[in-house]
Amino acid sequence: MAQKQYETAVVEVDAEGFMTDFSQWTRDVAVAIAKEEGIAELTAVHWKVIDYIHKDFKENGQVPSIRKLNKSGVISTKELYDLFPGGPAKKAAKISGMKKPEGCV
Amino acid sequence: MKRLVILGAGTGGTIMANLLHRRLARSEWAITIIDRDNEHYYQPGFLFIPFGFYKRADIVKPRSKFLPRRVEFIVSEVDRIDPAANEVVFKDGSRIAYDYLIVATGAEIVPAETPGMLDGWRDTIFDFYTPDGAEALTEKLKALPGGRIVIHVNETPIKCPVAPLEFAFFCDWCLRRHHRRDKIDLIYVTPLPGAFTKPVASKALGMLLDEKRVEMVTDFNAERIDAAARKIIGYDGREIPYDLLVTVPTNMGSEMIERSGLGNEFRFLPTDPHTLRSKKHANIFGIGDATDVQTSKAGSVAHFQAEILAGNVVRAIEGKPLEPAFDGHSNCFVEAGKGKAVLIDFNYDVEPLPGRFPFPVVGPMPLLKPSRINHWGKLAFRWIYWHVLLPGRPIPFVPARMRMAGKKRPTDAASASK
């Protein structure tokens, strides 16, 4: 298992840089991962998405799908793509300290 | 007299009727199975229709033919499940009470979920997940003079996640045989980062696409389709032009699940991945495509689940704890064209790996590699489906839980995921 240093924090990550121990996640780590993913600043809307992912994971044990984020009224799919360019499901999960979404089989 | 009701007489529902009628005493239990029609399609056969290998009549039989005589079969539209009353409500308002309920209502394509998709429906946009779509596509493929065939997966999860790949392989093979391949470009468009979800299989299947000169567009999520201009437009702004779009639209569970207030955002039933009991209601169980468990939506999965689910339904009835035995086992033949097929075997934790199946070394079937014997296996499967699978008989040497014997993990598996 690899480790990664974000500012002063050291976190466990998998081969693709997804955190493997959520207890190591902090808001500062999230900001650092976001920078690495090309998101200069996490805005209030970013945080709304991240908070929802955490809440939903707590309740259901799964990273919510883009469809669920859209349907739950958190954010439209189009906005989500603007916020996390290039692959919102993966990027949002990574910044939230979640494992890589299954994407289903 | 107590009653067990099964909703849906497809693969999962039919197997459950056959297994449970042997296990539930006739004197104590009535078993009722409900479906909206009496046509049971062998769904893996849809793929073969557009290429003229099968006709509709080759893959459809009456549902009633595969149900035990003791089981009551009702052909009627169900409006909803009323879990508080333990009743199923029909469209005409009549009700049937259950003590235990098995939801086996499957998954269906919902093209209306993508703006613009229905504008070109069955004109330049086709599906092969319905008998009508597959038949319409047969004519369209014959008449297509040239241009770009785009094979498109709209959103995951889909039923039989390898079917669109098989479609691409068959397309290449058939166009070659008819000396039309040089006039037609094949493009495979997927929301996934590669040909498949799991790295080792993704690499092997991606290489097959490459070998057959199928261009792959990955991480593509369609925002809408402009049917007049014949292009798919992605959320990230990318545009993909097509002359013929063969799409796998968003797959969702039955609308009845949504009307019952029992579905997730895809109308799938939230189900315990190991016991197959509903996460909300102790006397409701799910099987096959209708559930939200994170494995393939495929007939083989329903078959492997059935044996475990039958045991758990009996345990629930007897007041015993359920066995968390389902491991996500899935097994599929992937047609690769040229009379060859690839076999994959995997579960929740173990991705499809190369090796031999069902026995180590002697096989006879190689895993994750095109071979003729796998192709004959797939063709033979239609007979096995009607005569072994649906009656709920075990398939020799293929147990419900996946076995590691014969599988080899490539040492470069980690690098394959890049």
Q: Domain boundaries in chain A?
A: 2-95
Residue ranges for chain B with pLDDT beneath 70: 412-418
3-state SS, residue A31: helix
- Per residue in B18-51, pLDDT (tens digit) is 999 999 999 999 999 999 999 999 999 999 999 9
Instruction: Inform me whether the C-beta atom of residue A61 falls under 8 Å from chain B C-beta atoms.
Output: no
The domain locations on chain B are: 2-106+254-317, 110-250, 330-416
The residue in chain A having the minimum alpha-carbon distance to the alpha carbon of residue B293 is A104
Return the closest-CA partner of residue A57 out of A14, A19, A90, A93.
A93
Residues in chain B: 418
Looking at residue A103, its pLDDT comes to 59
Q: Which residues on B lie below 8 Å from A60 (Cβ)?
A: 270
B115 touching chain A per CB within 8 A: no
Query: Looking at residue A48, what is its pLDDT?
Result: 95
| Nearest CB neighbour to B197, from listed A15, A72, A103 | A103
User: Would you tell me the crossing angle of helices A27-36 and A88-95 to the nearest 10 degrees?
Assistant: 140
Chain mean position to CA B288? 8
Q: CB pairs below 8 Å between A and B: how many?
A: 47
State the Cα–Cα distance between residues B38 and B9, nearest whole angstrom. Answer: 9
pLDDT for B197: 81
**B197 contacts in chain A (CB < 8 Å):** 102-105
Indicate yes or no: CB of B236 within 8 angstroms of CB of A102: no
Residue B371's nearest CA partner among B397, B335, B330 is B335
Low-confidence spans in chain A with pLDDT less than 70: 1, 102-105
CB contact under 8 A, B156 and A77: no
Nearest-Cα distance to chain B for A96, in Å, is 20
Can you give the pLDDT at residue B37?
98
pTM here is: 0.93
Binary contact (B265, A67; C-beta < 8 A): yes
CA gap B298, B109 in Å, rounded: 14
Q: Which residues of A are catalytic?
A: 104
Query: Strands B239-241 and B95-97: what pairing?
Result: unpaired
Asked if the Cβ–Cβ distance from B265 to A102 is below 8 Å, we say no
pLDDT attached to residue B418? 35
CB-facing half-sphere around the CA of B186: CA atoms within 13 A: 25
> Hey, are the CB atoms on B266 and A67 less than 8 Å from each other?
yes
The ipTM value here is 0.84
Interface contact flag, B155 A67, Cβ < 8 Å: yes
Residue B82: predicted pLDDT: 98
CA distance, residue B26 to nearest chain A CA (Å): 39
**Chain B CB contacts of A104 below 8 Å:** 156-157, 161, 197, 294
Encoding tokens for residue A73? 């009224």
Q: Are A1 and A20 in contact (CB under 8 A)?
A: yes
pLDDT in tens, B132-173: 999 999 999 999 999 999 999 999 999 999 999 999 999 999
Distance, CA of B302 to CA of B330 (rounded, Å): 9
Answer yes or no: do A105 and B346 touch at CB < 8 A: yes
The domain made up of B110-250 is a member of CATH 3.40.50.300? no
- Does any CB of chain A come closer than 8 Å to the CB of residue B296? yes
Domain B2-106+254-317, architecture per CATH: 3-Layer(bba) Sandwich (3.50)
